[in-house]
Amino acid sequence: MGHGGRVMERVVIFGRGGAGKSDLARQLGAATGLPVVELDKEFWSADLDPLPPDEWAQRQAILAAQPRWIMDGDLGPYDAVEPRLRAASTVVVLDLPLWLCAWRARRRGPERRDFWDWTIRWRRHSRPHLLRSISELAPQADVVILRNRRSVGRWLSASRSETA
């Protein structure tokens, strides 16, 4: 079950760079048995070129047509969220502090300037648009906004116990 008594079958995870989207997706996948689709691997070429928007929407539509999945990724200005949001049963927004995300991203390795610009401006620029898109495109979904590591851990534990 998901929050609100619905079954958690198609989960979308958003958040700024370094928020822990992939870690949460892997842990949630292990806890629920849902297959994890790491959108960064689907979206970026080997040269780190983004897919054209129409191709990206088509690729997501194919992925979202599957009955059960977790899709983690927030591709900022390059993203087209509609295909996965329309299919989502649960939407998780990792709204963690910038200092924590920056520290995690730095530990991971070097990132391009556009990554840092997007990560720094995420709460002010990306988040409002994202929340509007969620309410318009996924009115049926359970929406979970997690603002610190403790709330992420609590939500994950609750999700584990619901599927046990």
In the chain, % of residues over pLDDT 70: 95
Give pLDDT tens digits for 55-87: 888 888 899 999 999 999 888 777 888 899 999
* Residue 111 Cα distances to 117, 132, 145, angstroms: 11, 28, 26
Confidence class of residue 2 from pLDDT cuts 50, 70 and 90?
A: very low
Give pLDDT tens digits for 84-111: 999 999 999 999 999 999 999 999 988 8
**What total of structural domains would you count in the chain?**
1
Q: Residue 154: give its domain's CATH number.
A: 3.40.50.300
pLDDT value at residue 164: 59
Which tokens in the block code for residue 139? 């009115």
pLDDT value at residue 139: 95
- What is the rounded CA–CA span in Å between residue 58 and residue 52? 10
Give pLDDT tens digits for 140-158: 999 999 999 999 999 999 9
pLDDT value at residue 6: 61
Confidence class of residue 1 from pLDDT cuts 50, 70 and 90?
A: very low
Residue 97: phi and psi, rounded to 5, are -60, 145
List the domain range (segments joined by +) for residue 115. 3-163
Give pLDDT tens digits for 114-132: 889 999 999 999 999 999 9
